[in-house]
């Protein structure tokens, strides 16, 4: 059992080390020697868990995909029944989920590296995290439109375009300037958007 636990810890350390280096240096510049050195493990220990740099990148993307799903849950297109968010709740869920995503991008290097790898021209990304986020936003807003939670004349597709482009843009800018991933930044975005998004006199009207 102790040997198994040690192997789990070693794998996690290598994965985190690789994520940190991919996030700051990119896939091409990262080397297995620098990853093992940062993780505090031997080259042999690294290769026991991961055959090459591509295997590390694939594992990070898979882990990041699971973390994104943990934040969003399933695409809301499938909502039905008594547990289905309605009215103000579905918009509140959209706002709160975006806050959780930004918190994850700010504090979770695995999630952040997964998004970074998706923009690497030299890495054939196996997971489209931005596409999954876009799909979730689109599903949420289509559901909001179906239950009358959007202001008159507001098209779900138009709002989804603005929200997706803005949040993904914040993520890209946040790679160089972490303040773009702050809770204050996303709150101010929603303070601007919500009065234009929901019917007058309904909430939420704030970005937090």
Least reliable range by pLDDT among 11-15, 196-200, 202-206: 202-206
Q: What's the pLDDT at 16? A: 98
Quickly state the pLDDT bin for 93 (edges 50, 70, 90): very high
Structural domains for the chain: 61-197 (1.10.357.10)
Distance, CA of 129 to CA of 116 (rounded, Å): 10
* Closest listed residue to residue 33, CA positions, set 18, 54, 48: 18
Q: What's the pLDDT at 84? A: 47
Least reliable range by pLDDT among 23-32, 75-84, 97-106, 193-202: 75-84
Quickly state the pLDDT bin for 4 (edges 50, 70, 90): confident
Residue 80 has pLDDT above 90, yes or no: no
How many helices and strands in the chain, by DSSP H and E? 9, 0
Q: Which tokens belong to 73? A: 């849950």
Q: What's the pLDDT at 202? A: 61
User: DSSP assignment, residue 155?
Assistant: -
User: DSSP assignment, residue 27?
Assistant: T
Average per-residue pLDDT for the chain: 90
Q: Is the separation of the CB atoms in 198 and 164 below 8 Å?
A: no
Distance, CA of 21 to CA of 7 (rounded, Å): 21
Residue 201 has pLDDT above 90, yes or no: no
The pLDDT tens digits of the residues spanning 31-77 come to 999 999 999 999 999 999 999 999 999 999 999 999 999 999 876 65
Q: Is the dihedral of CA 159, 162, 164, 170 positive or negative?
A: negative
Within 50-127, residue ranges assigned H as helices are 53-72, 88-107, 109-117
Q: What's the pLDDT at 82? A: 36
Q: What's the pLDDT at 83? A: 41
Residue 102 has pLDDT above 50, yes or no: yes
Residue 78 has pLDDT above 70, yes or no: no
* Closest listed residue to residue 46, CA positions, set 61, 29, 31: 31
The pLDDT tens digits of the residues spanning 128-182 come to 999 999 999 999 999 999 999 999 999 999 999 999 999 999 999 999 999 999 9
Distance, CA of 93 to CA of 9 (rounded, Å): 34
């Amino acid at each position: 059992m102790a040997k198994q636990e040690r192997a789990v810890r070693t794998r996690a350390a290598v994965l985190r080390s690789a994520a940190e280096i991919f996030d700051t240096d990119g896939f091409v510049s990262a080397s297995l020697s620098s990853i093992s050195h940062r993780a505090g493990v031997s080259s042999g220990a690294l290769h026991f868990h991961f055959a090459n740099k591509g295997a590390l990148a694939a594992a990070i993307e898979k882990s990041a995909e699971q973390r994104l799903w943990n934040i969003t849950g399933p695409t809301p297109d499938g909502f039905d029944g008594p547990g289905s968010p309605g009215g103000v709740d579905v918009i509140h869920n959209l706002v709160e989920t975006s806050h959780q995503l930004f918190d994850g991008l700010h504090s979770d290097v695995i999630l952040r590296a997964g998004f970074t790898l998706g923009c690497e021209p030299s890495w054939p990304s196996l997971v489209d995290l931005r596409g999954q986020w876009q799909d979730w936003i689109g599903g949420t807003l289509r559901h909001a439109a179906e239950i009358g939670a959007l202001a008159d004349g507001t098209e779900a597709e138009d709002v989804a375009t603005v929200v997706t482009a803005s949040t993904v843009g914040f993520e890209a800018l946040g790679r160089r300037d972490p303040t773009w991933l702050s809770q204050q930044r996303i709150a101010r975005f929603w303070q601007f958007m919500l009065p234009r998004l929901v019917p007058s006199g309904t909430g939420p009207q704030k970005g937090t």
